[in-house]
Amino acid sequence: MSKGRHVCFLTGTLNAMAGAERMTAVIANALAESGHTVSILSLWDKDSCFPLHPAVGHEALFAERPSFKKAYLTTVAGIRRYCRERKVDVLVQVDTMLALLALPATVGLGVQHIAWEHCHFDEDLGRRARRYARRLAARYCKHVVVLTERDQLRWIEALQPRSQVVIIPNPLPFPFPEEPAPRTGKIVLAMGRLVNAKGFDVLIRAWQRVSAEVPDWKLVIHGEGEERPALSALIDELGLQDSVSLPGICRDATEAYREASIFCLSSRYEGFGLVLIEAMAFGLPIVSTNCEAGPRELLATGTVGLTVPVDAPTMLAASILDLIHQPDLALRFAHAERMFAKGYSLQQIGARWSDLTSARHGSMPQYS
């Protein structure tokens, strides 16, 4: 039975293997499963890389990505028409940049706006307009959803928002594994888009030292992206063809986690770092950079993994070797991580989103 309000997620596209797109599908599905009326409006491309609940409607304004400088008015008009015709009550902007389109598109329609920040506040991804969009969101959206306490503080300190800034972390996108990974294979796993932000070049350089000491171990980096040619060339340059593989996008992440014994995150920055929670759920001991904002917060206690500075291949290699050579330490992390990850179940996080999108008046609790 419908809970009465139409919640629409506004996104660029769902046809991209990236974290924000994945979370859009996961949360939309969870809300639909709990009885909400849910739709997704993509700006371009009606296809989706991720499965959608049968009750989730998905439409796109354009078949292909347009030039939004040239198509700005057409895009705003399309969003307005969709919200008016579908009687959208809550519009979740999956990227704060979308405030530049969504807010003018819905003037006078009585739509409740929620801006969903996936990047950390001090990173604009090379787009200065993002800073202006965040100011608009902080002033005119009812809620801004951020992923970490650190980001909540930055929004409040920097923008003094009229919006309520609410912490709702990303959930584990699959059911909690009944058993941890057996960790019998000599595999260090990394996952993410092959882009500079993920620091896979640093990890490959670190692996040169790891491989020299434990040549029977393998590094597997799942993902795809613009850095593939450069990373492949680096593997060849360092003579690591036999111990480092780039198998591409992982269609079954759970199987990849089950086959690994250690997980490594080498990012230069992260909005959250969902792969850390996924790896924890499978009890994989973690080595991670202490980058902003998610990893620094998730791993702050020192009880669920080892952390190293950003862009430090020597220290990264040393920490990976520590976990390989100290099985008792690795096992201690594995047990602690499984307990930690249970707090990020889809059921718990989905309930927070349900509360948020159902709230017509008043304030929401400050989740942490």
Q: Are residues 241 and 128 in the same domain?
A: no
328 & 351 share domain: no
Please say whether the beta carbons of 188 and 261 come within 8 A: yes
Residues 220 and 160 in one domain: no
Per-chain mean pLDDT for the chain? 93
Q: Are residues 141 and 191 in the same domain?
A: no
367 inside domain? no
The stretch 264-284 carries a mean pLDDT of 95
The string of pLDDT tens digits covering residues 135-174 is 999 999 999 999 999 999 999 999 999 999 999 999 999 9
Confidence grade of residue 368 (pLDDT, cut at 50, 70, 90): very low
Q: pTM of the prediction?
A: 0.88
Do you know the residue count of the chain? 368
- Same domain flag for 278 and 145: no
| 68 and 211, same domain (yes or no) | no
The answer to whether residue 294 scores a pLDDT higher than 90 is: no
Residue 117 has pLDDT above 70, yes or no: yes
| Residue 144 belongs to domain spanning | 6-171+345-358
> Nearest-5° angle of CA 10, CA 358, CA 298?
70
Residue 250, in any domain of the structure? yes
> Computed over its alpha carbons, how large is the radius of gyration of the chain?
21
Whole-number pLDDT of residue 360: 61
**How confident is the model at residue 104, as a pLDDT?**
96
Give the pLDDT score at 215. Answer: 97
Burial of 107 (0-12, 13-18, 19+ CB in 10 A): exposed
In the predicted model, is pLDDT for residue 271 greater than 90?
no
What distance in Å separates the CA atoms of residue 93 and residue 113, rounded to the nearest whole number?
A: 7
Indicate whether 258 and 144 sit together in one domain: no
Q: Tell me whether residue 179 is in a domain.
A: no
Q: Does any domain span residue 209?
A: yes
pLDDT of amino acid 366: 46
Q: Give strand ranges (E) for 1-124.
A: 6-11, 37-44, 57-62, 90-93, 112-116
58 lies in the same domain as 132: yes
What is the arithmetic mean of pLDDT over 253-269? 96
Q: Is the pLDDT of residue 367 over 70?
A: no
Per the domain annotation, does 319 fall within a domain?
Answer: yes
> 362 pLDDT exceeds 70?
no
241 with 325, same domain: the answer is: yes
Kindly state whether residues 146 and 24 are assigned to the same domain: yes
Say what the pLDDT of residue 123 is: 80
Do residues 338 and 351 both lie within one domain? no
Residue 124 confidence (pLDDT): 78
Percent pLDDT > 70 in the chain is 97
For the chain, what is the domain count? 2
Classify residue 306: in a domain, yes or no: yes
- CATH number of domain containing 88: 3.40.50.2000
Q: CB–CB of 188/216 below 8 Å?
A: no
Per-residue b/e over 87-106, b at no fewer than 16 CB within 10 Å? ebbbbbbbbbbbbbbbbebb
166 with 133, same domain: the answer is yes
Contact yes or no for 364/164 (Cβ under 8 A)? yes
Q: Are 7 and 35 in contact (CB under 8 A)?
A: no
